[in-house]
Amino acid sequence: SFFFSSRRRHTRCSGVSWARRCVQETDLKELIKSNKVVPYQAPVASEEFESWALILLFIGFCLMMWFFIYQITYRKVERYLIKELTIGLLSALFLGSGTFFFLLSVGLYM
Amino acid sequence: MKKKKALNTYYIAVPREYDQFLALILVRDKNNKDIVPVRIQDNSVQAQYNATIYKVDLTHYVESNQEEQLIITETYFNRMSALPKKITIFEDQNVEIYDNPHFFSPYPTEKSQTTYKLASSPIFYTEEDATAKGGNIEYGPYRNDGAFTRSKIRLHFENTRPFPVFKNVTRVIEVSHWGNIAIEDFYKLANEGAELTGEYNKVDFNKYTQHTGKNSLKNLKAKLPYNSWGVYYKDEVGNISTSRAFRDSASNSVDMTIEPRFALLGGWKSNFYIGYNLPAKYTLFVEKADPTNYYLRQNSGLIFKGIMAEEFTIKVILPEGATEINYQFPFPLNEVSEEKSFSYFDFEGRPTFVFKIKNVVDYHDQTFTVNYKFSQNSIIREPLMILAIFAAVFI
């Protein structure tokens, strides 16, 4: 099946069997010149990956320490499940995103 | 009386015995515009004269009794063969070539002249109609040739350079919306020059001198995009440290020189990988009016200039969840297919387009575009999965 949306993107679908997809007729150079198309900016700039990784991992480790200390110092009956869950999940959030930015900063893009 | 009309079509003929070695044919008219001829399927003419016919659609009409100038460039490969086929490590490589000095055309030719430009005087050249001026051998001028005039001359001359050819090049382009394009090329390199007679002897062959193994392939030069980072050169054994790269703002590229682990003598082969990364902001574009519409622009040629690849496969791996994928190439492709690639945190797989081009020369060093729709929010999926792993640990 062909995706035929010539109204918006001016595509032309050829009948040649190997060209199963429609070929873009609008030249990318013209789109860039007329400013209809801009360079892609990632949500976080690559220069900031290390900073984000360090801060997030640091906060994550602090929360993780708090979690473990909380587990150790209070007996089972004295602990609150809600507090455990929130600290645990918050710590996972920070550690998870910190690890993710750490991997991005060493060049392992997913 | 027949009325003479204006024409905008021209036909070029190539002898069938040479057409299989034709990598590229280009026609340039007086407006300096390059036209790519199309091979046509006229079987009767082709069978009768043992020729392949190409059709050229000119950019304008040529009126009757008017002259038009065309520059036809034909790029051949494997036309020169080493003679002698095997040489010792101290000898110079000599090659021979056969060719048709008449202008082979479906039209009659009033006057034609062919000049063969060699680096030095040849060892042998067919004497008929020939005038030798040092390295330039002129044949002709021939007057009033009929259509499809055939003849054969032979040239035997010295050419001590290696003949590098890429038997296969595979490029994998992986797009990540966290801001990076990762590219890895796999090369199968061969030196198709004169082979070595006898056995290879490390005492006789010293790759640091000019006296031995003159036709051995010692290094190659590549030009990577200016913003490349994280460049590596490796093969199946591991990293190859004999390489240099320099970011040159004058030529707007990263100039890289690689030396394979061993100098390739005639007939020898070597496989290697070259990988590099590009920041997304230089090659990935997004439409302002519709932020889910992305354009990826990449080079369609090799990073090594002046070397032909018999087969070039480009694989573009788009992020998981990309839809409505279109592509645009400045020249026709031999084969296009779609598949799925699986990488980190993939469920349904990443859409992958595979483009195959045969006999890639410097002409193919242009850019191609892949256009797709992708919801930017999906990129949060990867960190969320790491989060889930950590959360599982805590729970």
pLDDT digit string, tens, across residues B174-193? 999 999 999 999 999 999 99
- Residues sharing a CB contact under 8 Å with residue B368, sequence separation 6 or more, in sequence order: B297, B298, B299, B300, B314, B327, B328, B329, B330, B355
B379 has a chain A CB within 8 A of its CB:
yes
* Lowest-pLDDT choice from A45-59, A73-87, B35-49, B168-182: A73-87
Name residues 256-295 of chain B within 8 A of A (Cβ): 277, 279-282, 284-289, 293-295
Give the mean pLDDT of A51-75: 88
A6 has a chain B CB within 8 A of its CB:
no
B300 has a chain A CB within 8 A of its CB:
no
List the one residue out of B45, B48, B156, B146 whose CA is nearest residue B102: B146
For A90, name the nearest residue in chain B, comparing CA atoms only: B391
Name residues 301-340 of chain B within 8 A of A (Cβ): 324-328, 333, 335-336, 338
A96 has a chain B CB within 8 A of its CB:
yes
**pLDDT score for A14:** 41
Helix (H, G, I), strand (E, B) or coil at A44: coil
Distance spanning both ends of chain B, measured CA to CA: 97
B280 contacts A42 by C-beta, under 8 angstroms: yes
> Pick the residue with more confidence: A84 or B294?
B294
Count Cβ atoms below 10 Å from residue B237 Cβ, excluding itself: 8
pLDDT band at residue A10 under the 50/70/90 scheme: very low
Token digits for B86? 């095997």
A76 has a chain B CB within 8 A of its CB:
no
- In chain B, what residues touch A100 (CB-CB under 8 Å)? 382-383, 386
Contact between chains at B382 and A110 (C-beta distance less than 8 A): yes
Instruction: Please report, rounded to a whole number, the percentage of residues in chain A having pLDDT higher than 90.
Output: 16
B280 contacts B358 by C-beta, under 8 angstroms: no
- In chain B, what residues touch A43 (CB-CB under 8 Å)? 178, 376, 379
CA–CA dist B274, B232 (Å, integer)? 6
- In chain A, what residues touch B336 (CB-CB under 8 Å)? 18-20
What average pLDDT is seen over chain B?
91
List the one residue out of B292, B272, B275 whose CA is nearest residue B188: B272
Query: How many H helices and E strands in chain B?
Result: 3, 29
B395 has a chain A CB within 8 A of its CB:
yes
* Alpha-carbon gap: B31 to the closest alpha carbon of chain A (Å): 22
B352 contacts B339 by C-beta, under 8 angstroms: yes
Contact between chains at B297 and A28 (C-beta distance less than 8 A): yes
* Start-end of H helices in chain A: 6-9, 28-33, 49-73, 81-105
**pLDDT score for A4:** 34
**pLDDT score for B66:** 87
B363 to each of A56, B34, B191, how far by Cα in Å? 49, 11, 22
Residue with tokens 């095997």: B86
- Residues sharing a CB contact under 8 Å with residue B334, sequence separation 6 or more, in sequence order: B356, B357, B358
ipTM above 0.85, yes or no: no
On the question of pLDDT at B75 being above 60, the answer is yes
- In chain B, what residues touch A36 (CB-CB under 8 Å)? 287-289
A88 has a chain B CB within 8 A of its CB:
yes
